[in-house]
Amino acid sequence: MRRIEFLQEFLGALGAVEIEWHKKTTELISGKVIYDRDTPEQTQEFIWHKSESEVPSQEVIDLIKLIRKKKLLSIDQLVVTRSELRESYNIEYGLKTNEQEFSNVLESLEMIEVSMVDDGKETDAYFIHE
């Protein structure tokens, strides 16, 4: 499932060391983010109201994989410029993505929100920004 692949990378880039999957239906996927295996209270429930057909493009998945691999976030904010990120993306994947093409990919990533759930209610969201 591409939703799981995306969420593992997205939530992993935001600090998840493990994800417990709770519910997977055609319209949503939910679970619990674990930040520290040795500290059980360091968790956060989440829900993402997306079907498999709504999963971001492979380019967006590749970008979040790069961000996670190179640890390019401080909490939820990118620690490199858009230009530096595009250069790293092009090198990593052997591409020649121009500024506009890359901006489209990055902006698609920045539009994604995964809802946090506290006491059964959606209260906040995971997201990435510049």
Q: Report domain extents, the chain.
A: 2-124
> Please, which contacts does 44-48 make with residues 24 or more away whose CB atoms are closer than 8 Å?
44/116, 44/117, 45/116, 45/117, 45/118, 46/11, 46/114, 46/115, 46/116, 46/117, 46/126, 47/23, 47/114, 47/115, 47/117, 47/122, 48/3, 48/7, 48/114, 48/115
Query: pTM of the full predicted structure?
Result: 0.94
For residue 39, pLDDT beyond 90: no
Please say whether the beta carbons of 79 and 23 come within 8 A: no
- The DSSP letter of residue 41 is T
User: For residue 7, what are the β-bridge partners?
Assistant: none
The 10s digit of each residue's pLDDT in 52-72 is 999 999 999 999 999 999 999
Percentage, residues of the chain above pLDDT 90: 95
Give me the chain's average pLDDT, please. 96
The 10s digit of each residue's pLDDT in 1-37 is 899 999 999 999 999 999 999 999 999 999 999 999 8
